[in-house]
Amino acid sequence: MSGASAIDRAREALSGAPRVTVLTGSGASAESGVPTFRDAAGLWQQVQLEDVATPEGFAAAEPNPAHRALAALEDRVGQVSLITQNVDGLHQAAGSGRVVELHGSLWDLRCTGCGTTRSDHRVPLPEVPPRCPACGEWQRPGVVWFGEGLPPGALEEAAQAAREADVFLSVGTAAEVAPAGSLPLLARQAGAFVVEINPQPSAVADEVDLALRGPAGELLPRFVAEVGPAR
Ligand code: OAD
């Protein structure tokens, strides 16, 4: 757990920052019961697909204090750009406004025939796999699978937000997967004060300005509520 002085430094950096960009990874949802990928208990170690890769599994997960603190940050600084690698929709459920979903969303269905993407929050789906209402072809989850490119425009939007940030928060990501993992470095090269919030050092930990070591759901609420003044 990080000491009070590190928390104070994070709060001071955020206070008065016109523009804050946040990158989140699976660790931000860990305290919602959504497994990470590469930790000892991560998804790639013990796959329980029915718990984690189905709408039913995600429907059971609720936003945790980390998601809620990041949503509350939007009322406390000039502008927040939230970029996530997560496909669980928990930032939106917590009230964050615009969220750039670099790896897509489990709540989107994309037609394998006509390519149309639709948001669908029904749990369970009436038909699995679901059929496209427009053309009748199968629909697939609107997430990025291995070997696929990122959603059109998402990386460009994320990179721009990283370059324009005064403060960049990297929350709950190992920063091992390109290109998202390079966003904290891009932000720092462009002059941002980069804060990592993660119990473990990420791949870019040596290059951040400040590291807060502990669970995001405990650390973020400790300083976001005092960032100010609230508008
Ligand atoms: P990883 O599993 O690689 O990393 C999770 C990170 O979260 C680790 O650095 C943990 O230390 C940290 N962590 C664990 N619990 C935490 C907590 N309570 N608070 C804060 N941090 C915590 O997951 P990602 O970095 O998100 O891509 O992985 C990135 C991408 O790799 C995923 O989006 C996915 C995967 O392949 C696709 O599926 C396209």
Percentage of the chain with pLDDT > 70? 90
> Among 22, 88, 173, which is best to mutate for testing ligand 1, by the most ligand atoms less than 8 A from CB?
173
Phi-psi region of 29 (alpha: psi -120 to 50; beta: other; left: phi over 0): alpha
Residue 84 has what pLDDT?
98
* Contact (Cβ atoms closer than 8 angstroms) between residue 120 and residue 130: yes
CATH code, residues 3-103+150-224: 3.40.50.1220
> Among 26, 86, 101, 222, which is best to mutate for testing ligand 1, by the most ligand atoms less than 8 A from CB?
26
Residue 52 has what pLDDT?
54
Peptide bond into 129 cis (omega under 30): yes
Which range (44-58, 125-139, 160-174, 211-225) has the least confidence?
44-58
pLDDT in tens, 148-161: 999 989 999 999 99
Residue 12 has what pLDDT?
94
Question: 131 C-alpha vs ligand 1 centroid, how far in Å?
Answer: 32
> Sign of the C-alpha dihedral, residues 3, 42, 162, 116?
negative
* Contact (Cβ atoms closer than 8 angstroms) between residue 70 and residue 224: yes
pLDDT in tens, 197-208: 999 999 999 999
The residues annotated as belonging to the active site are: 103
CA distances from 182 to 24, 36, 105, 137 (A): 13, 19, 21, 37
Dist. CA 144–CA 220, nearest whole Å: 28
Domain boundaries, the chain: 3-103+150-224, 106-143
